Amino acid sequence: METTYREAMRAALRDAMTRDERVFLMGEDVGRYGGCFAVSMGLLEEFGPERIRDTPLSESAFVGAGIGAAIGGMRPVVEVMTVNFSLLALDQILNNAATLLHMSGGQVAVPLVIRMTTGAGRQLAAQHSHSLEAFYAHIPGLRVLAPATLEDARGMLWPALLDPDPVILFEHGSLYAVSGPLEDAAPEVDITSAAIRRAGADVTVVAWGGCLGKALTAAETLAAEGISAEVVDLRVLRPLDSATVLASVRRTHRAVVVDEGWRSGSLSAEVAARIAEEAFYDLDAPVDRVCSAEVPVPYAKHLEDAALPQAETVAAACRRVVGAGG
What does the alpha-carbon distance between residue 88 and residue 83 come to, in Å, rounded to a whole number? 10
Contact between 25 and 13 (Cβ < 8 Å): yes
3-state secondary structure of 326: coil
128 included as an active-site residue: yes
What does the alpha-carbon distance between residue 311 and residue 217 come to, in Å, rounded to a whole number? 6
Question: Smallest Cα–Cα separation from 78: which of 96, 98, 60, 94?
Answer: 60
Contact between 131 and 86 (Cβ < 8 Å): no
Measured CA distances, 292 to 119, 186, 304, 307 (Å): 11, 34, 10, 5
253 included as an active-site residue: no
The single residue of 7, 28, 79, 128 carrying the catalytic annotation is: 128
**Which residues, 6 or more positions from 175, have their beta carbon under 8 angstroms from its beta carbon?**
5, 148, 153, 209, 210
Residues, the chain: 326
Q: 53: which strand partners? A: 26
What residue spans of the chain are helical by DSSP H? 5-19, 43-47, 59-71, 90-91, 100-103, 133-137, 150-155, 157-162, 212-223, 242-252, 267-278, 301-307, 311-325
Measured CA distances, 131 to 27, 118, 229 (Å): 20, 6, 25
The single residue of 7, 28, 59, 171 carrying the catalytic annotation is: 59
Q: Which residues are catalytic?
A: 59, 128
